[in-house]
Structure formats: C-alpha cells, structure tokens
Structure 1
C-alpha cells in the first residue's frame, strides 16, 4: 500500500518521523487518515516494531476504528500496537504495576454514579448537609482539582472560606474512602501513573523503552495530567506526534488546556509543524461561516480551510418567537425541500443543543405524521440492569467494594435496611 491517496501536506506529515511533530488538522481535513497511515508507514518501513508504538485518543470508538484501519492497511489480523484511550492505557499500566502503589490489581474503577454514591457516604460520615455541599457539587470541584493536579494538602493551604475548607475535608475523606474500597475514579487513572513515574524511575524507563514512538489524537483536549504523562514518556527520545485543532477545543470546563497544543513548540523546540487545510467534509460556505466565528478566539493557530467540495449553497438563518414556531418553521423547510428537490425524510437531520429541546420538535412531527428517529439514548453501561450485573461481578473480585455492595444488597429485595448496612460496612 502506497501513500498516493494522501495529499501533499498529509504525505509530508506522515513521512516526517524524526523528532517531535505537531499537526494542526482543521475539521474534515483527514487527521484520522494521517494518523493511521503514519502508523502504517512506521511499521511497513521497519522504522519501529508495532509493540514499540503507543497511540492514544479520547474515545473507545476512535481507538477501535484506528486499529481496524491500520490492520487493513497492513493486511494483518494481529497488530500488537498499544492503541487506546488515555484512561484504558493508564488503567492497564496501573494494574501491571499495582504493587508499587500498594493497590490490588483487581481495583474497581468508579464511574460518575459510583462516585456520587461514595460522596453521599462520605458527606454523611462527615455530617455535612446537602445544602452546604451536594454530592454532585463535591464531585465536580474535586474532579477539577485533580485535573489541575492539586492534592488535598496543597488545596488546604489555599483554602480561605468555610466552603473551600469543607471541600478539602471531603476531598481527603473521599480519597481515603476510595482506598478502603480498593477503587480509583477516572481522574485517578491519569494521576497514578505520574506518581509511579516520580517514585520509581526504573518503571518510567521501562515504559520509555517500551513505547519508543507516541501518537496522540485530539491533542487540543488534553488536560494537565495527560500532558505530563505524554511528556514524561517522550522526554528522552522526543519521538512524539500530536494531532489536533485548537479551534475545536471545547472541553476547557473539564480541565482541557488548549495551551498544550498552542505551546507545543515551547516544550519541544525542535518540533516540525504541519497544517492540514484541505477540507473534505463541508462546502466553502460552511467553512467560511465557522471561520468567521473562531477568528474571535483570543489565541489560535492560523489556518485557511479550503473546501474540496466547492462553494456550496448559501447558509440560511431564520429567527422565531418560541420553540413552537421554530418547530413549525423546520417542518415547512422540510416540506419545501421534499416538494422542490424530490427529497425524502431520511435525507434530513435536525441538531439541537440539549435533549430537552427535542420535545417541541417531536410533538410537531407526530402531529404532522412525520416519521423520525431520536439518535442517542441511555448508554448501554448506564442502564440499571447492566450496572447491577457489573456491581455483582465487581464485588466477586473485590470484596472491599462497598459501593457495589450497597447497589446490589437489595436487588433482588432482601429486606436489609440502610441502617443495618451502615453498621456492616
């Protein structure tokens, strides 16, 4: 397989393998193609063995798609590359090195609901009422501190108000409760490898030797722990390639730091920079409209996206008085397109910002007899019956997991009250 299907800039980025590489990939510019072809190139040219390559991204779906594509390019069903999300890669590393952290390799990983259940127990134990600090408020604030790599002791020195001091108290008690339950939350999965690297240089050297070339997708969404994880692993050989788009950085509210990509050259002064500007997804009208918005960002890398699909139709904008008039206007637009351009209902999609906004649209669609399908529902692993089964399984391998015990102790009903359970755990 050659690289002939890549454009000039994509190919140059793929073939650049000596030293740090930063690829600014505008929306729809083929960043996944570049990443997968780069892995293919590294292996097919025998520059690196598959087992010496680490590729990290942000979703399991993206990781799976990437691995399938690379295996297709290499025409193999066996690919020992480490491809996964930050959390999955770090979780595997921690399980292997658990003894150095005084952890059981069978530690539980608490999702948001598990965390909230544990916070309820912690807050109750500290006699902190919900109107002072609610479980979700505590979780959000402590997660923010973890994303900034701020420990309870560090935050205790900064705390001034009663609420800030209460958060520190809860933070400390929460971390102790996680230990008692032999559990980690998702933020811990990113922090514990850094603790390992700091306290055990030989372990850091082990993984630096294992992962000799590192690729990172969606680099604009990395937070401080993820940034340190990557820089520690690549600090010796400097063989790292990051791909991202600062214009698509939307997760600052949960700790993502866009300066990681904008200041990449400061941390890796010898880096080479490539900018993918040819868009294969949208028309020029759409790109120009989007660009007119993001150009107002305080800091951004300069890009000039050019559409491969030509200019396209002009964008339309109409304002309505309320959600009912908006729904009627959308239906009128659909009917007009169907009548004039011979389209069908399956040719259209309607995007909205929050799930609550779908109600007016659904009511109008049903009233007019228009068939529709809502995309996205409760995720599989968020379903009650699935979480109940998983709680049973987690309890089997980790008898200290009291949160899982609390979840299933009365499913099916056994008549065990919360007071009795509190005494037992």
Structure 2
C-alpha cells in the first residue's frame, strides 16, 4: 500500500501510520490550515486502498457536510452531522431510549428535559421517541440538545452500541471533534 501513498501530504502520511497501527489520531490546526483538504485526502486514499470499507465522516453543521460531500462522493462514505449520525445509531433502540429519557426526566438535572412531574417507566408506552426540529418531551419528541445528552449516556450505559458502530464502520473521522461529546 505504501507505493500508492506517494504524493500525499506529510501529515496525511503520518495519519496513515497511525491508521495502519490501529491507533487513533488527531489532526489539529487553525482555520484555513488545510484540515478539510487532509480529511478528504484520508478518505480518498482509504477508499482507494479498500473500496468496500465503510467510512463515516461526522461533522457539526450541514454546511460542513455539504462541503465534504462536494469534494468526495462514494457509496461507502457516510457524511453527516453529529446529531444525525448519533440519531441514526440509537433510534432503533427504543426500549433503551425510553428508559434513559425517563431517567433523565426524573433526575431533573439536564436542561431541556425537565417536566413538572415525576414520570414512571411506562410514561412513553405507545409512543415512539422521535428526533425533530423542536422539543415536546411529553410526546417523546427530542431535538439537537437532547440527542447529544441521550447518545452520550446510551453509549456509556450500553457498550454494545459502541461495538455495533465500530462494526459498521472501518474508519470514523470526526471533523470539529471539540464540538462533540460522545466517544466509543
């Protein structure tokens, strides 16, 4: 594979050393320093070497999603916001979502999840937890802030979720990682 990597930027070469060793890496730099260019090079090279591998590229805004998708498109590349990525990976676990959401409501320590009354374990029975642009907790509707809180707790509480995500994607790249709160 090394012969195919000729011509890549030095920092991308270093990243591939970490990737080849199975270790995490961090690419940091100021605005305009070429981080997105390097990110695209990493994705392109990874797909060139292993075109059947699934890669996730997670970012914080739809504008960043559009920018990355504008530079590279591949059937095995998923580019999404952190909110959409997290929701896509937890939405099928409705029992666990309802349990964690009920616990958060009863804790009354998380902004946006406060209800005036205590709720019991069957509070969300017959409802599907949904992710929308607004919050209506009593109806099981959550939004951006709740996704981050719920996913963080669910990935900590249910390690199987981390293993599922790790099995889905050979490589997970997080753009603007400082804005995210969940780590597997």
TM-score (norm 2): 0.68
Corresponding residue number in structure 2 for 1:96: 92
Shift of 1:217: 1.1
Question: Any idea what the Cα deviations from partners look like across 1:312-358, whole Å, max 9, x if unmatched?
Answer: xxxxxxxxxxxxxxxxxxxxxxxxxxxxxxxxxxxxxxxxxxxxxxx
SS at 1:29 equivalent: coil
Aligned to 1:217: 175
The alignment of Structure 1 onto Structure 2 pairs a total of residues equal to: 158
Considering only aligned residues, what root-mean-square deviation do their CA atoms show, in Å?
3.3
Separation of aligned partners in 2, 1:60 and 1:13:
29
Q: CA deviation at 1:31?
A: 0.9
**Displacement, 1:171?**
5.2
Residue in 2 that maps onto 1:59: 61
Task: Within 5 Å, give how 1:197-276 maps onto structure 2.
Answer: 197-220=155-178, 222=179, 226-227=180-181, 229-230=182-183, 232=184
Q: Quick one: structure 1 residues 24 and 196, their matched pair in 2 at CA, closer, same or farther if it must change by over 3 Å?
A: closer
Bigger Rg, which one: 1
Q: CA deviation at 1:178?
A: 3.6
Matches within 5 A, 1:249-398: none
The correspondence for 1:182, drawn from 125, 140, 143, is: 140
Q: Which of 36, 41, 49 is equivalent to 2:40?
A: 36
Task: Tell me if structure 2 keeps the 8 A contact 1:14–1:41.
Answer: no
Structure 2 unaligned residues grouped into runs of 5+: 120-134
Larger helix proportion of the pair: 1
Q: 1:2 to 1:190 in 2, by over 3 A?
A: same
- Structure 1, unmatched stretches of 5+, are 72-77, 104-149, 156-166, 233-425
**Cα 1:211/1:174, change in 2 over 3 Å:** farther
CA contact (8 A) 2:113 2:137 kept: no
**Following TM superposition, by how much is the alpha carbon of 1:98 offset from its aligned partner in structure 2, in angstroms?**
2.5
Residues 62 and 13 of structure 1: CA distance in aligned 2, closer, same or farther (over 3 Å): farther
Structure 1 residues 13, 58: closer, same or farther in 2, change over 3 A? farther
| Match in the other structure for 1:172 | 114
- Partner of residue 401, structure 1: none
1:153 lines up with 2:107 in the alignment: yes
CA contact (8 A) 2:44 2:72 kept: yes
Distance in 1 separating the partners of 2:113 and 2:158 = 26
Render the CA deviation track for 1:184-219: whole Å, top value 9, x for unaligned.
Answer: 021111122233334433333212221332211122
TM-score scaled by length of structure 1: 0.33
Tell whether the 8 Å contact from 1:13 to 1:23 is kept in structure 2 after alignment.
no
Distance apart, 1:14 and its partner CA: 4.7
